[in-house]
């Protein structure tokens, strides 16, 4: 049975691979997002502005992913508490920027209105969870803080889950891209909270002084 530190290292490996892939795809291989934009139903938007917003969205999503991972390290928490606190606010800022940029792009989401609604719902729930996590630690409720941070951080993997599900359904099974993407969006928003609760039960149910995730 794997130790918590092993799960943490696996998570870091996944994060690094995904960020490298995202940076390559969005800034080197297809910086104009031509292949992705071809699938959009609503194309009545300013493409240059949309692309710039998308670049900010991608970079801040990567920042949130890295920042959140750093703060789950018990090494950082035990030895660099001030860094942990500052980094927590960096994470909050990144989440807010991701939400704002997502709010701009949501009306033009691939899959139309159904997907736009899902993204807008996420844009409401995600920052609320993050703020709750901060409020919990301000009240010295360490265990509750960790649980809410886990719930919040799970949504950093939304894009990874969306594109993984889309790839399996579209490239693996042959379902249309828009349908696959829509299923990917809703599937991610259902799976990630469940995974977060499983992690909370497995790693964050004991006393706050015990090591978690490293």
Quick one: pLDDT band at residue 70, thresholds 50, 70, 90?
A: very high
In a domain, 209, yes or no: no
Asked if the model's pLDDT at residue 4 lies above 90, the reply is no
**Rounded CA gap, 25 and 125, in Å?**
28
For residue range 139-188, what is the model confidence (pLDDT) as tens digits? Answer: 999 999 999 999 999 999 999 999 999 999 999 999 999 999 999 999 99
Q: How far is CA 6 from the centre of its chain?
A: 21
In a domain, 115, yes or no: yes
For residue 48, the SS3 value is: helix
| Cβ 213 vs Cβ 12: under 8 Å | no
**Rounded CA gap, 32 and 48, in Å?**
9
- Average pLDDT (45-70) is 91
**Rounded CA gap, 158 and 114, in Å?**
16
Rounded to 5 degrees, φ, ψ at 68 are -65, -40
In a domain, 210, yes or no: no
Please choose, from the candidates 65, 24, 71, 70, the residue with its C-alpha nearest in 3D space to the C-alpha of residue 160: 65
Q: How many domains does the chain have?
A: 1
Asked if the model's pLDDT at residue 38 lies above 80, the reply is no
In a domain, 212, yes or no: no
Task: Quote the domain boundaries for residue 156.
Answer: 4-35+42-203
What is the model's pTM? 0.88
């Amino acid at each position: 049975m794997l130790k918590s530190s092993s799960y943490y290292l696996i998570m870091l490996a996944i994060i690094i691979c995904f960020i490298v892939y995202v940076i390559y795809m969005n800034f080197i291989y297809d910086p104009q997002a031509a292949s992705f934009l071809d699938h959009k139903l609503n194309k009545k938007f300013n493409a240059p502005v949309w692309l710039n917003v998308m670049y900010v969205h991608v970079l801040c999503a990567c920042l949130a992913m890295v920042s959140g991972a750093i703060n789950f390290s018990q090494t950082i928490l035990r030895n660099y508490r001030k860094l942990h606190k500052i980094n927590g606010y960096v994470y909050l800022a990144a989440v807010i920027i991701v939400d704002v940029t997502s709010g701009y792009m949501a009306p033009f989401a691939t899959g139309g209105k159904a997907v736009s609604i899902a993204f807008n719902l996420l844009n409401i729930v995600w920052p609320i969870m993050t703020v709750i996590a901060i409020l919990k630690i301000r009240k010295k409720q360490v265990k509750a803080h960790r649980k809410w941070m886990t719930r919040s951080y799970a949504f950093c993997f939304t894009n990874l889950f969306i594109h993984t599900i889309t790839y399996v359904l579209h490239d693996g099974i042959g379902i249309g891209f828009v349908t696959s993407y829509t299923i990917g969006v809703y599937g991610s928003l259902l799976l990630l909270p469940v995974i977060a609760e499983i992690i909370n039960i497995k790693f964050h149910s004991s006393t706050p002084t015990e090591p978690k995730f490293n």
